[in-house]
Amino acid sequence: MRIYKLVGIVLTALLLLASCADSDPDKKKVKIAYANWLEGIAMSHLAKVVLEEQGYEVELQNADLAPIFVSISGKNSDVFLDAWLPITMKDYMDQYGDSIEFLGEVYGEARVGLAVPQYVAINSIDELAANKDRFSSEIVGIDAGAGIMKTTDKAISTYGLDGYTLMTSSSSTMLASLKKAMDRGEWIVITGWTPHWMFDQFDLKFLDDPKKVYGDLEEIHAIAWKGFSKKDPFAAEFFANIKLTTEELSSFMTAMKDARMDEEEIARKWRDEHRQLVDSWIPKSDNFEISS
């Protein structure tokens, strides 16, 4: 028994040594957190491959939204590229904003709200109450911690949608439910947002929001823990420089959805196809001292 314990200790020590050997102490390190949303997956993997070209060691950390904000504010993650503001993630910013700094606006024409197929004969959220039976008293949503789910809870209260249940699922499950309903010509209402390929693949429309629960256009921001830009000004400026148009982001998300390769390979391919754009994000290294 003692021999087995000794072997276990030796193997553990060897694994620890191997893990230390894999990490280059001379490399600058960045930890990027991301949620399971296609635009965030795409942008995070792209940032990883670009920073690695610049000599960085990049760790991607996948988590739900609430743990991401906890991790950023606690400096366990460095950067989050998918903060939707001013409405969608307002609650998280209210809670953690004192420990967070803004690096830059990545995309400025995002929108969130409730969406239905074009054939559904209503056009406004305030028409949902009178058509509860047609929608089976359900609003089909995504994961419970998502900002759009919190806002939809407010919409249910604000618009008096008594009797409606906000269904929690994943985005893939929500979209599978959408496809099934549309194949049958049934009425369905989902939590929708752009940019997203759902509006390219399905004939959808946003319901009007006269009470502005979901606000107007949203912005997608890169955020970090407060003080990150002083610790690593080169990386901070790189993240601040990332700007994507609707066409660019949509093409990237479609590539992520359709390609039969892993996310990092897709990111490298998209980077190579948009080399001039990506190179414009990279700060002039002469202005920075990059050290570990």
pLDDT, tens digit, 9 for 90 and up, residues 50-62: 999 999 999 999 9
pLDDT in tens, 125-177: 999 999 999 999 999 999 988 899 999 999 999 999 999 999 999 988 999 99
Task: Show the CA angle centred on residue 91, arms to residues 88 and 92, nearest 5°.
Answer: 95
pLDDT in tens, 200-258: 889 999 999 999 999 989 999 999 999 999 999 999 999 999 999 988 998 898 888 87
For residue 253, which of 26, 92, 41, 12 has the smallest C-alpha distance? 41
The pLDDT value recorded for residue 25 is: 61
CB 164 within 8 A of CB 139: yes
In the chain, the domains with their CATH numbers are 27-107+217-279 (3.40.190.10), 110-204 (3.40.190.100)
Mode of pairing for the β-strands spanning 100-117 and 28-34: unpaired
Q: How far is CA 5 from CA 15, 17, 94, in A?
A: 15, 18, 50
pLDDT in tens, 172-211: 899 999 999 999 999 999 999 998 889 888 999 999 999 9
Q: Whole-model pTM?
A: 0.78
Q: How many CB atoms lie within 10 A of CB 143?
A: 19
For residue 244, which of 219, 272, 214 has the smallest C-alpha distance? 219
Question: What's the rounded Cα separation, in Å, for the pair 240 and 283?
Answer: 10
Phi, psi (rounded to 5 degrees) for 146:
-70, 145
pLDDT in tens, 67-86: 999 999 999 999 999 999 99
